[in-house]
Amino acid sequence: MAYLGNPAYTMAVLEKHGFHFQKKYGQNFLIDKNILEKIVDAAEIGADDVVLEIGPGIGTMTQYLCERAREVIAVEIDDKLIPVLADTLSEYDNVTVIHEDILKVDIRALAEEKNGGRPIKVVANLPYYITTPIIMELFESRVPLDSVTVMVQKEVAERMKEGPGSKHYGALSLAVAYYAVAETVAEVPPACFVPRPKVSSMVIRLTCHREPPVAVADERFLFSVIRASFQQRRKTLVNGLNNAPWIPVDREEITRCVESLGYGPSVRGEKLTLEEFARLANLLWGKKKGMKGSHRA
């Protein structure tokens, strides 16, 4: 089987299997060999690595991963692609294709089974309609992760890398900062895919922290505070927190906690660094009464 990473081979495979793209699954297949190599190089896959690929499509990047990794697990939702993958990956005995929605897979259990709980690498050209839920699920479910190297919409990559004060800074930027260090690998124009997406894309590598950079009393409460702070972006931080039923702290106490960070009561959430959010969450954690509702906003 020839490498698929070029337009002619890709079209030949699609024709052979009578495959039709499904827009609802965010199917934009990579057809650029240079970009494929850049992604796999940036992920630094070695012969001892177990790699999870989310959405292998027709197996284009999977082939590259199989050449370098000890084992590849590829999770694909579209049943029409399962026979295609059986064909394009037939030469590799180090790949397992799982036909499932990635959001329904217990990735932590999978990592335990395939790599004895040691960190795995995630590599993917992600379906853009569920980029944020996939990234958050990987982080929040505490999958042992070495790195996550993914193609995402350019705008989402920018949100992941933003710092305080920018209009794109928000809950995703803070989650990424808490769990990883983000670096841009490449900007990818629509012409590198078939069919062409309407937006520009970016490959980003998230190298996961061994230990979080800040210490908090309760990790889930930190993210509840962050979510409350960005829920109504145009409101002050105090109002955002006060309006969130899952932050069971009086307005006066909230104001005092915010002021003890050195900010006035009209500051907005977008001004605070991760370290300041951690301090705020710890202060609020000490002031909270019985939870009014679930603290998982």
Residue 269 engages ligand SAM in binding (rule: CB under 6 A): no
Q: How far is the CB of 122 from ligand SAM (least distance, A)?
A: 12
- For ligand SAM, the closer of residues 6 and 231 by Cβ is 6
**117: Cβ contacts below 8 Å, ≥ 6 apart:** 111, 144
Query: What is the Cβ-side half-sphere exposure of residue 84, based on CA atoms within 13 angstroms?
Result: 28
d(CA 136, CA 172): 8
Query: Would you give the binding string for ligand SAM spanning residues 27-46, x where CB under 6 A is met?
Result: xxxx----------------
* 226 contacts 57 by C-beta, under 8 angstroms: no
Q: Which stretch in 64-72, 100-108, 224-232, 252-260 sits in contact with ligand SAM by CB under 6 A?
A: 100-108
- For ligand SAM, the closer of residues 190 and 265 by Cβ is 190
Q: Choose, by CB under 6 A, the member of 63, 97, 127, 170 that binds ligand SAM.
A: 127
- For ligand SAM, the closer of residues 124 and 278 by Cβ is 124
Pairing verdict, β 180-188 and 201-208: antiparallel
Residue 148 engages ligand SAM in binding (rule: CB under 6 A): no
Q: How far is the CB of 93 from ligand SAM (least distance, A)?
A: 20
Query: What is the Cβ-side half-sphere exposure of residue 82, based on CA atoms within 13 angstroms?
Result: 11
Distance spanning both ends of the chain, measured CA to CA: 48
What string of DSSP letters covers 232-261?
TTTS-HHHHHHH-TTS---HHHHHHHHHTT
Q: Which stretch in 20-28, 138-146, 160-168, 198-206 sits in contact with ligand SAM by CB under 6 A?
A: 20-28
Residue nearest to ligand SAM (CB): 55
- For ligand SAM, the closer of residues 28 and 236 by Cβ is 28
Name the DSSP letter for residue 209: P
- For ligand SAM, the closer of residues 101 and 259 by Cβ is 101
Radius of gyration of the chain (CA): 21
Residue 170 engages ligand SAM in binding (rule: CB under 6 A): no
**Closest residue by Cα to residue 281 from 199, 220, 234, 202:** 220
Pairing verdict, β 29-30 and 193-194: antiparallel
Residues found near ligand SAM in the complex (CB under 6 A): 25-30, 54-57, 60-61, 75-78, 81, 101-103, 125, 127, 130
